[in-house]
Amino acid sequence: DESTTENVINKMLDYAKTKIISDLEINNPDFKAEVSLRHGSFQKKLNKDEKVEYINTSSREELLNQDLVFDTTQQSYFSIKNVGNKTFQFALLDIQPDGIINVLLPNIKQNWGEEDLKLAKGQTLEIPFNPPKPPYGIEIYKIIMSDNFEDFAFLNSIDRESIDDNKKGEDSPIVALFKDLTDGTMKRTKGNLPVVGGTAEIRFQIIPAKK
C-alpha cells in the first residue's frame, strides 16, 4: 500500500530529524545560556491590567530540589541566564519521549511573546510551567538563541510541504538549518552549521504520579 509506505518513510524521517535536533549543539561565545529546571509551585491570577501573573507558593524544600524527575502533578520553574557576550532572543523546544516536537516558547496565549524572551547580557528570566503530561520517559528542553526573534512554528508540523510557507522572505541561517533538518533536504545550508545563534538544553524524566 502506497500510503502505508509513505507513512513509514515519514516516521523514519521524523525520528531522524528529532534525533539530530536533540543532539545538535551550536557553541558560540556570543550566544550562551545557563539553564535549569526545578520543582516549584505557583498560582495564576489576573492583575489590574487583566494580564496573568504567577505567584510563587513554593516551599523551601521545593526551591532546593534540583533533581530532574517530575511526575504529572508537579509544577516547575524554568530558568535561563544570558552568560554570553550579546543580547539574544530565544525559543524553547519541547522534545517528547516519543519524538514529537512542540514549540513551548514563544507562547502568546501564556503571555510569553517576542519581547518577553529577549535577554541582555547577564540577565535572568524565570518561567513557571504546568505539570508535564505523558508519554513517560526522558524529555528534552532545547533552547535556541539568536540575534532576532525567529519563528520556529514549522517544527510543530509534520507537513513538509508547508515548511516554506511559515516564514516570508529570506530565512536566517539558524532557521534555514532547522528547516533543513525538518525536511531532510539540506538544500538551504548545504549541511553547514550557522555561525550565528547558539543552543542549550535540559534533559529530565517524566514519571507517573503516585496514587
Q: What is the pLDDT of residue 49?
A: 73
SS3 state at 2 = helix
In the predicted model, residues of the chain with pLDDT beneath 70 are: 1-3, 6-13, 157-169, 191, 194-195
Task: Spell out a b/e string for 49-76, using b for 16 or more CB atoms within 10 Å of the CB, else e.
Answer: eeeeebeeebeeebeebeebebeeebbb
Q: What is the pLDDT of residue 59?
A: 86
Q: What is the pLDDT of residue 198?
A: 93
- Dist. CA 67–CA 37, nearest whole Å: 9
